[in-house]
Amino acid sequence: MIRRRLSSPDKTGIALVVFSSDADLNWLRVLKTGFRHCFIVLESSGCWIIYDPLLHRTDISVVEGDDVFGLLRLYRARGMRVVPWVVRCPAKRPAPMGLYTCVEAAKRILGIHSRRVITPWNLYNFLKK
């Protein structure tokens, strides 16, 4: 069996953080329009891994090819906001505990340890600074 590591603890990589208005549950509608859900698209060896943490499951899929601009156009055409981000190795300390949400999952992938980032809107503002 050949096992290929998709990421390395010391390697930097590119991620697209995608924000949308999708809200399957009514209580999610209290969140800011356009920022009710987020997911991550990670670049890895010429392909893109889509990591979409939902409330009832996590979807993971792989898109072949390295056309980042095509992905940007696709998500933006669907009315989503996309923030490119460089993923770096975080400090070797435990991340703060938090509820498992799309934001918490994204923070772990991106190496963000801020306790103040708890909603997709908070994450968007953090990434834009």
- Say what the pTM is: 0.84
pLDDT digits (tens, 9 = 90+) for 22-32: 777 676 777 88
The amino acid sitting at 58 is T
pLDDT digits (tens, 9 = 90+) for 13-72: 889 999 998 777 676 777 888 889 999 999 988 889 999 998 888 999 998 876 788 888
pLDDT tops 60 at residue 4: no
